[in-house]
Structure 1
Amino acid sequence: MHKTLHTVLLASALSVCLATPAWSSGLMDSIKSQATESLGGITAPQSTSGTSAMGSTSGLGGLGGASGLGAALGLPSIAGDTAGNAAGVLQYCIQNKYLGGTDAASVKDKLLSKVGIGGKQEQQQDSGYQQGLAGMLSGSGGSTFDLGKLKSDLKDKACSYVLDNASSLL
């Protein structure tokens, strides 16, 4: 409970820093350091352009619910062009027991059907889906995040973020 509150407070402080960059550069460095400690030494993911997801507003998602946690963890935003990858990540989460029940499997199957990679052979040929199976979340804009670098309790939350956001693509 304490870590969850700490993460929410860090996400709130981060949003203030992003909204007012003129006075917050030193505060931002302090928050990044605290977030890294809180997340067990994990640093913010790098996008393909080399900009940290925590240093840019792109790919941060909203600040409420699972999206807020996604922003705090630096998870990339999920869009229609990453639906196959999101389906792969959902399968990763199901196989590793970070998500259970029929809801995650149903969303995964609907996403696969929507992007036309329902068959095993098609799934094996789709690079986004295969990356997702390995726990690599790809976001719109080319940003990526390796779920394997998260502590177990944060993987649960990251998988919930993917499920919530992937559901909105249906």
Structure 2
Amino acid sequence: MNTHFRNTLAALALLAAGASSTAHANLLGDLKSQAGNYAMPAVGASTIGNAAGVLQYCVKNNYLGSDAASVKDKLLSKITGQKQQQAGYANGAKGLLQGGDGKSLNLKAVSGKLKTKACDYVLKNASSLV
């Protein structure tokens, strides 16, 4: 059983048992720390369509400035006619970051701070692909 899952179960058990607020605060801090160390999905040549879609999502929702749109457009020019990449774009535009390593992150399900970090991460990595 992974550490994150065990900590989540422990948090739920503490809540159910009516544990002290200090125990809640400590466990909540541990969970937040783990979220801050979340390993982002790998962005690479095999996922440029998804990266372009995520950039679209990030610009549309004001997590990145309009300068990211030019990177997105350059990525899109590389995937014209590739169905798998176009499907990746569609998922990315909905906020689903999919990595070439099989990991994924649904941006709609995370806090604003993590969304901003994820958007910055994708922009940085996508810029190296254009």
TM-score, length-scaled by structure 2: 0.70
Structure 2: which 5+ runs fail to align? 8-26
1:110 to 62, 74, 77: 74
How do 1:21-170 residues align onto structure 2 when only pairs under 5 Å count?
A: 29=3, 33=7, 37-38=31-32, 72-102=37-67, 104-116=68-80, 126-170=86-130
Q: Deviations over 1:76-113 (max 9, x none)?
A: 110101000000000000000000132x0110000000
State, as a whole percentage, how many aligned pairs show the same letter. Answer: 46
**Structure 1 match to 2:11:** none
SS at match of 2:105: strand
User: Is the Cα–Cα contact under 8 Å of residues 49 and 76 in structure 2 kept in the other structure?
Assistant: yes
SS at match of 2:46: helix
1:73 offset after TM fit, Å? 2.0
Structure 2: distance between partners of 1:133 and 1:82: 13
**Structure 2 match to 1:7:** none
SS at match of 1:116: coil
SS at match of 2:50: helix
SS at match of 1:142: coil
**Structure 1 match to 2:24:** none
1:36 offset after TM fit, Å? 6.4
Structure 2: distance between partners of 1:134 and 1:85: 10
User: Is the Cα–Cα contact under 8 Å of residues 79 and 86 in structure 2 kept in the other structure?
Assistant: no
1:74 offset after TM fit, Å? 2.4
Q: Which has the larger Rg?
A: 2
Structure scoring higher RCO (CA < 8 A, sep ≥ 6) equals 2
Aligned residues: CA RMSD: 3.0
1:142 offset after TM fit, Å? 2.5
SS at match of 1:166: helix
Q: Deviations over 1:7-60 (max 9, x none)?
A: xxxxxxxxxxxxxxxxxxxxx838x84676216x96xxxxxxxxxxxxxxxxxx
TM-score, length-scaled by structure 1: 0.55
Structure 2: distance between partners of 1:82 and 1:159: 15
Structure 1: which 5+ runs fail to align? 1-27, 43-68
Equivalent residues, number: 108
